Amino acid sequence: MTSVASQPAGRSKARRASAQEGGAVRSGMTLAAYLFLSPYLALFIAFMLLPTLAAVGISFMRWDILGTPEFIGLDNYRQIFADPLFLTAIKNTFYFVFLTAIPMVVLGLALAMLLDQKLKGTAFVRTVVFLPYVVMVSTVGILWGWLFDKGTGLVNYYLTAIGIEPIAWLKDPHWSMPALAITTVWWTVNTNMIIFLAALQDISEELHDAATLDGAGPWQRFVYITLPLLRPAMALVTALTIINGWRVFGQAYVMTQGGPEASTFVIVQYIYLTAFQNFEMGPAAAAGVVLLLITLVFSLAQMKLMKAI
């Protein structure tokens, strides 16, 4: 304090000016940041936030698109929870998340570890692994529909070759969801791989070198260096995988249309058909809100769990 008070007036003035300038620069930078963000923000608000808020509103209305919405309180929520098909959809979607979440994270990490090696041809293999991601869901669905065919499909061809009886993957209610899970893992595990790969490349070589000098083997380095440093990436990947799992739709719609015997009927298909086939916007919006809450709860629980580990 004294030193400041004893400063010559001119210096203090200059400092104030510089502070003001700094403030101006900072606010200028903040403005620039907002400007850079604004295109995304505008689109996000127009096409995500406002429709989401509208959906919450519509979930309390009776509305068939053509008429005037009418407020009916919680009736839509009562209707969907009394609908066995909605409960089946929740159960099926949960089963899908269960089937895909662990392989998506474990396989994503394993692939990333593999492709993080400095071997010849790694760039090519990375491209090959990432390639399915650019294929459209309808193509993926039709392709795997062929692969899973009981009579002529490649999957059963190999199963038969190792002495396993052919499975009617998409026509047997017990196998249809595992078939969708396998398809999904093949199609999307590469995004998890990319995130893990980026995170792996962020880990300093020196840490591994130091640990090696201290006598740590590959497994110890993986457990005590790689895994802890991957925690943020792991949290992100797990959250994204679970959220995407709950939002599954395209594969089920193209490959099985929710069948056989409703075994692959998922929440988003329920929402889509309720809204655009039955034109019951209220119950569809209510189901959307329920899905939002489910993903929120799962994400928060998962985040908490990751912090605890």
Partner 1 sequence: MANDVFAKSLLTRRQALALGASAALAGALPRGALAADEKVTLWHGWTGADNTTALNGVIDTFNKGGKGVTVEPTGYDWDTLFSKWVVSSAGGRAPDLVLFHITELPEFATRKVIRPIDDVVASSGLDLSQVPDAGRTGVTFDGKVYAAPLDVHPLGFYYNVDMVQEAGLDPAKPPKTGEEFLEWAKKLTVKDASGKVTRYGFELPNTWATARWIWFSLMYQNGGTFLDDKGLAAVDSEASQKALQYLVDLINVHGVTNPEVGGNKGEDAFASKQVAMKFIGPWEVNLRMAQKMNFMTAQLPVFGAKPAVWANSHCMAVSKQPNEDKLAADGTFMKWFFDNFAAPATTVGIIPQSKAVRENAAFTGTEQYKYFKSFVDDLPNIVYEPLIPQYLSVFSFDKPTPLVTNLQAALSGSKPVPDALKAMKEGLDAQLKKG
Tell me the residue type at 167: I
Q: Report the C-alpha gap between 1 and 231 in whole angstroms.
A: 44
* Phi and psi torsions of 273, nearest 5°: -70, -35
Q: Which stretches within 131-266 are classed as H helix?
A: 137-147, 154-161, 176-202, 205-213, 218-221, 227-229, 231-246, 250-255
Site for partner 1 (CB under 8 A): which residue of 260, 299, 302, 306?
260
Q: Which is nearer to partner 1, 133 or 249 (CB)?
A: 249
Does position 288 bind partner 1 by CB under 8 A?
A: no
Does position 261 bind partner 1 by CB under 8 A?
A: yes
Tell me how far, at minimum, the Cβ of 261 lies from partner 1, in Å.
5
Q: Report the C-alpha gap between 65 and 279 in whole angstroms.
A: 7
Tell me how far, at minimum, the Cβ of 223 lies from partner 1, in Å.
45
Tell me how far, at minimum, the Cβ of 202 lies from partner 1, in Å.
42
Site for partner 1 (CB under 8 A): which residue of 106, 212, 257, 296?
257
Does position 65 bind partner 1 by CB under 8 A?
A: yes
- Of 277, 292, 299, 293, nearest to 85 (Cα)? 277
Tell me how far, at minimum, the Cβ of 18 lies from partner 1, in Å.
57
Piece in contact with partner 1 (CB under 8 A), picked from 25-33, 128-136, 274-282, 299-307: 274-282
Tell me how far, at minimum, the Cβ of 226 lies from partner 1, in Å.
42
Q: Report the C-alpha gap between 299 and 243 in whole angstroms.
A: 7
Does position 141 bind partner 1 by CB under 8 A?
A: yes
Tokens of 184: 């999904």
How many CB atoms lie under 10 A from the CB of residue 217? Answer: 10
Piece in contact with partner 1 (CB under 8 A), picked from 10-18, 53-61, 64-72, 126-134: 64-72
Q: Which is nearer to partner 1, 179 or 199 (CB)?
A: 179
Site for partner 1 (CB under 8 A): which residue of 100, 226, 244, 256?
256
- Of 248, 298, 260, nearest to 175 (Cα)? 260
Does position 273 bind partner 1 by CB under 8 A?
A: yes
The CA radius of gyration of the chain, in Å to the nearest whole number, is 26
- Of 63, 32, 54, 47, nearest to 274 (Cα)? 63
SS3 label, residue 163: coil
Q: Quote the longest CA-to-CA distance of the chain.
A: 92
Does position 278 bind partner 1 by CB under 8 A?
A: yes
Q: Which is nearer to partner 1, 275 or 290 (CB)?
A: 275
Question: Which spans of this chain sit near partner 1 (rule: CB under 8 A)?
Answer: 64-66, 85, 88, 141-143, 145-146, 149-152, 168, 170-173, 253-262, 265, 269, 273, 275-279
